[in-house]
Amino acid sequence: MRVLVTGSSGFIGAALCRALVEAGHSVRAFHRPTSNPRMLQSLPVEHALGDLGHPETLAEAAAGMEVVFHAAAQMGARNQDVDRMYAITVEGTRALLQACRKAGVRRLVHTSSVAALGVPERTRRGVMNAPMDETHTWNYRPEWWAYGYTKYLAEIEVQRAVAEGLDAVIVNPAHVLGAGDVYRQSNSLVVRVAMGRLPVLAEGGLNVVHLQDVVAGHLAALEHGRTGERYILGGENLSIVDLVEKIAAVAGVTPPRVVLPAGLMRSLAVPLGWLEAYLDLPVSAAMFRQAGDFYYYDTAKAQRDLHLPAPRPAEEAIRAAYEWFVSVGAIPAADRQSIV
């Protein structure tokens, strides 16, 4: 098949390109001229330079394509450029969908995020709500999580395109770990823990999924996904404390032991926002408001409908990420802590 991958130089996009090439497909890799092409360098792909903010480049990229994987978005760990995030993630998605319809693309797989599902309902201490599933919808103040809100709005654009006749399916990866995270070499949680740059922990939890399971989920969505449906591509639900301990075990370092109360962490969101430009925070100051929340997900729908096997354990994803960061020098051996 002739396949277009947007965001092809990114973590998920580059891994998708590799899997598609290995499966014998003809791949057109769409990325900005300024993108880091490191993970594409050894692949026999056609490079299409452009930007989600320039619709004319999208029309050229989609021309002649049978399938599109839309893995591009404006990441932005901070909330300072909300306008650009909206222009790229929402308006850029709308422009791509229009280009796909005009080009006669047979099917589009849209890479969203579990962030588009909103935040979990807050629980009383010691009482855990059921993990979120695909029926959960946005329920948070947009200005407090621009990334999640724009991913939610981009999904609405996909649903509108489906209503107008485009065959599209949505996948929602959880917290992805694995080899090749080019753009997070300094700020990945794995790097921070391995290099002792995470002095304290917060209450809460995440769902950690292996990059290769996310890629397999994309390919399965292309083949088995139902038009207009969303599928959570998740792995193992872990508390922040458990996740950091697993990372530390793989890296051979001592994990941080201090866990700050969620209420205290949330109260720091505003003052840290004033100082954010001068601090080395692991996440944006706005994300401190989500301390104590457990971002746990139910992946039963994807496993059932997309015929996916049980996801890999989190340790495999952590080890793949750690070994890759070491291989590229993002975790220099001399900078690692010693076990005490």
pLDDT digits (tens, 9 = 90+) for 102-156: 999 999 999 999 999 999 987 666 556 789 999 999 999 998 999 999 999 999 9
Amino acid at 33: P
Which of 86, 147, 149, 322 does the annotation list as catalytic? 147
Q: Is 231 designated active site?
A: no
Instruction: Transcribe 87-146 into DSSP letters.
Output: IIIIIHHHHHHHHHHHHT-SEEEEE--GGGG--PPP--TT--PPPB-TT----S-GGG-H
Q: How many percent of the chain have pLDDT more than 70?
A: 94
Tell which residue, 119, 114, 118, 92, has the closest CA to residue 32. Answer: 92
Residue 116 tokens, joined: 């588009």
Q: Per-residue pLDDT for 296 more than 90?
A: yes
In the structure, what pLDDT confidence band is assigned to residue 21 with cuts at 50, 70 and 90?
Answer: very high
338 or 22, greater pLDDT: 22
Q: Where are the beta strands (DSSP E) in the chain?
A: 2-6, 26-31, 46-49, 67-70, 107-111, 168-173, 175-177, 201-202, 205-210, 230-233, 236-239, 259-260
List all residues 6 or more positions away from 319 whose beta carbon is below 8 Å from its beta carbon: 250
Cα separations in angstroms, 78 against 10, 29, 70, 232: 18, 27, 23, 24
pTM for the model stands at 0.94
H or E element: which one contains 64?
Answer: none
Give the residue-averaged pLDDT of 35-40: 90
Q: What is the DSSP letter of 260?
A: E
Q: Nearest CA to 77 among 290, 281, 291?
A: 281
**Of 215, 280, 281, 209, whose CA–CA distance to 243 is shortest?**
209
Contact between 284 and 77 (Cβ < 8 Å): yes
Residue 335: pLDDT above 60?
no
Residue 87 has pLDDT above 80, yes or no: yes
pLDDT tens-digit map of 41-54? 989 999 999 999 89
Cβ(17)–Cβ(43) below 8 Å: yes
**Distance from C-alpha of 237 to C-alpha of 217, rounded to nearest angstrom:** 18
Report the chain's mean pLDDT, rounded to a whole number. Answer: 91
Give the phi and the psi of residue 107 in degrees, each rounded to 5: -155, 145
CA distance 122 to 189: 24
Q: Is the separation of the CB atoms in 110 and 70 below 8 Å? A: yes
Tokens 């399916």 locate to 169
| Per-residue CA distances from 152 to 91, 155, 324 (Å) | 12, 5, 31
Fold of 2-178+208-235+298-303: Rossmann fold (3.40.50)
Whether 79 shows a pLDDT value over 60: the answer reads: no
User: Per-residue pLDDT for 56 more than 60?
Assistant: yes
Q: Are 312 and 213 in contact (CB under 8 A)?
A: yes
The ranges assigned to domains in the chain are 2-178+208-235+298-303
Give the mean pLDDT of 63-81. 81
User: Quick one: what percent of the chain has pLDDT higher than 90?
Assistant: 75
Query: Would the pLDDT of 97 be above 50?
Result: yes
Q: How confident is the model at residue 337 (pLDDT cuts 50, 70, 90)?
A: very low
Q: Are 211 and 12 in contact (CB under 8 A)?
A: yes
Contact between 172 and 312 (Cβ < 8 Å): no
What is the rounded distance in angstroms from the CA atom of residue 45 to the CA atom of residue 43? 6
